[in-house]
C-alpha cells in the first residue's frame, strides 16, 4: 500500500509534466474578463502596492504556490526549489497531499521544507475523504506538527477518486467531520477543489462551519480525471475520464459565485491561472489570493532561480495590469469600473 502511494505521486509528476492533462473544450473563463485600458492612470507605477491579506494576515503579494506534490523522491527537489523561491518572494507555499506522510516514513523530507522557508505561510494538505478512512483530529495534528504548517487545506477530489485505481469513494457526512476539525485544530482550515471548482452555495456551507478560506480550483487547468486516465489500465475508466474532460465550473465563475456568498473568508483563485494578467482578472472579480500550480512546475524541477524568474514575471504582469486601469492597490483593483465580465 505505502509503496503504491509513492509510486502514484511519482507518476502524477511525470504525467503532469509530459501529457495533456487539461480538459477538452472547457476553459477557465478568463477570456470572458476584459479590462478597459486607462491611458491616463494618474498613479506612479513605482508606488503600486500588491499587498494582500490571507486569513487576516498581511502578505507582500497575493500569490500562492498551489498544492502540487510530495511523497516521491523527485518531489523533494521540487518542493525545496519552491520553498527557497517562496521565502525570497514572500509567496504562500501550499504542499501536496500528505496521506503518504502518515502512512510511510519514506520521502517524508519532501514535505518538510520549513528549513528552506522559515517565514512564509506553509499550508499542509489532506484529502477530505480521508476523514472517512481512518484520518481524524490526531492525524491532522501530526501532519501539521511534522510540516510546521500554519494552516491545513482539505482537498475535494471526488471525480479523481472514481477514476483512480482503488480510489476512496465514500464522501458521506464529510461536512460534519470538517466542522469537528475546524473546532479542534489550532490552525486555520481551508477547503479546495482539485480542478472542477467550488460554487458559492458549497463555499457558504463550508464557511458557516468555520472554514477560513476557500480555494476554488476551477475548471480550465489541470483535470485530475485526465491525469488518472493516463495511469489507468481499465479501458472503461479511461473512456469515462475522457467523457468528463468537459466537466467543471470555470475558474472565474467560481470566484464570482463564491464572492457573492461569503464576505470575510479568504478566496483563493486557482485552476488554469498562468500569468499575472490572469491573476489581475480574478482579483478584480473578488479573489484575495491567486494560486499557481502547473505553470511553475517545470521551473521547479530545475532550480530556485528558474522559479524566481517566473515569480518576478507574474508580479510584474500584475502591476502592469493595475497600472493599465489606474489601480494603485488591490482594493482599488477590486472596485475598478474598468472591468468587464461576461457570464
Q: What is the mean pLDDT of residues 27-56?
A: 97
What is the per-residue pLDDT for 55? Answer: 95
Instruction: Show me where the domains of the chain are located.
Output: 2-341
Per-residue pLDDT tens for 199-233? 999 999 999 999 999 999 999 988 888 888 888 89
Q: 238-271: per-residue pLDDT in tens?
A: 999 999 999 999 999 999 999 999 999 999 999 9
Cell triple for residue 224?
485530475
Segment 38-42 mean pLDDT = 98
Distance from the first to the final alpha carbon of the chain: 45
* 8 A C-beta contact, residue 224 and residue 241: no
pLDDT tens digits, 71-84: 677 789 999 999 99
Question: Which pLDDT value is given to residue 107?
Answer: 77
Residue 175 pLDDT:
98
Region 122-151 average pLDDT:
97
Q: What is the pLDDT of residue 74?
A: 77
Across the chain, what does the average pLDDT equal? 93
For the stretch 321-331, pLDDT in tens is 999 999 999 99
2-341 CATH, one of 3.20.20.70, 1.10.10.10, 3.40.50.450, 3.50.50.60: 3.20.20.70
pLDDT in tens, 159-202: 999 999 889 999 999 999 999 999 999 999 999 999 999 999 99
pLDDT score for 333: 98
- Position 8 pLDDT exceeds 90: no
Mean pLDDT of 55-61: 95
Better-predicted residue by pLDDT, 166 or 62: 62
User: Phi, psi (5° rounding) for residue 152?
Assistant: -130, 130
- In the chain, the percentage of residues whose pLDDT exceeds 70 is 97
**pLDDT at position 9:** 63
The residue among 272, 318, 259, 254 whose CA lies nearest residue 91 is: 318
Quote the pLDDT of residue 305. 98
pLDDT score for 104:
79
Residue 17 has pLDDT above 90, yes or no: no
Question: Which SS3 state, helix, strand or coil, does residue 65 take?
Answer: strand
pTM over 0.85: yes
The pLDDT value given to residue 83: 97
pLDDT at 2 over 60: no
The CA distance from 59 to 271, in Å, is: 21
Band the pLDDT of 3: cuts 50, 70, 90.
very low
Instruction: Identify each DSSP E strand in the chain by its residue range.
Output: 33-35, 52-54, 57-59, 63-65, 92-94, 122-127, 151-156, 189-193, 213-215, 266-269, 289-292, 339-341
**Gap between the Cα atoms of 251 and 214, Å rounded:** 13
Q: What is the mean pLDDT of residues 271-299?
A: 96
- Residue 4 confidence class, pLDDT cut points 50, 70, 90: low
Bridge partners, residue 231, by sequence: none
Amino acid at each position: 500500500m505505502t509503496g503504491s502511494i509513492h509510486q502514484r505521486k511519482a507518476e502524477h509528476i511525470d504525467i503532469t509534466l509530459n501529457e495533456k492533462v487539461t480538459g477538452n473544450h472547457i476553459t477557465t473563463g478568463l477570456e470572458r474578463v476584459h479590462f478597459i485600458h486607462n491611458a491616463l492612470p494618474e498613479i506612479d507605477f513605482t508606488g503600486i502596492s500588491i499587498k494582500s491579506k490571507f486569513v487576516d494576515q498581511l502578505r507582500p503579494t497575493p500569490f500562492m504556490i498551489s498544492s502540487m506534490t510530495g511523497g516521491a523522491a523527485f518531489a523533494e527537489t521540487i518542493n525545496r526549489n519552491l520553498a527557497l523561491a517562496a521565502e525570497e518572494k514572500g509567496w504562500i507555499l501550499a504542499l501536496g497531499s500528505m496521506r503518504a506522510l502518515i502512512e510511510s516514513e519514506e520521502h517524508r523530507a519532501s514535505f518538510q521544507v520549513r528549513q528552506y522557508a522559515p517565514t512564509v505561510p506553509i499550508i499542509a494538505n489532506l484529502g477530505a475523504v480521508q476523514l472517512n478512512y481512518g484520518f481524524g483530529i490526531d492525524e491532522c495534528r501530526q501532519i501539521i506538527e511534522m510540516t510546521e504548517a500554519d494552516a491545513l487545506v482539505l482537498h475535494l477530489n471526488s471525480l479523481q477518486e472514481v477514476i483512480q485505481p482503488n480510489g476512496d469513494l465514500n464522501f458521506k457526512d464529510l461536512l460534519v467531520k470538517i466542522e469537528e476539525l475546524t473546532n479542534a485544530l489550532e490552525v486555520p482550515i481551508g477547503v479546495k477543489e482539485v480542478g472542477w471548482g467550488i460554487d458559492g452555495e458549497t463555499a457558504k456551507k463550508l464557511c458557516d462551519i468555520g472554514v477560513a478560506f476557500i480555494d476554488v480550483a476551477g475548471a480550465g487547468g489541470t483535470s485530475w480525471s485526465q491525469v488518472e486516465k493516463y495511469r489507468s489500465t481499465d479501458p472503461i475508466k479511461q473512456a469515462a475520464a475522457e467523457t468528463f474532460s468537459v466537466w467543471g465550473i470555470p475558474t472565474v465563475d467560481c470566484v464570482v459565485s463564491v464572492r457573492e456568498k461569503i464576505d470575510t473568508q479568504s478566496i483563493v483563485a486557482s485552476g488554469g491561472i498562468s500569468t499575472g494578467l490572469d491573476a489581475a482578472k480574478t482579483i478584480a472579480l473578488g479573489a484575495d489570493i491567486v494560486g499557481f500550480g502547473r505553470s511553475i512546475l517545470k521551473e521547479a524541477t530545475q532550480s530556485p532561480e528558474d522559479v524566481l524568474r517566473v515569480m518576478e514575471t507574474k508580479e510584474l504582469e500584475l502591476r502592469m495590469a493595475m497600472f493599465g486601469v489606474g489601480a494603485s492597490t488591490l482594493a482599488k483593483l477590486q472596485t475598478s469600473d474598468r472591468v468587464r465580465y461576461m457570464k
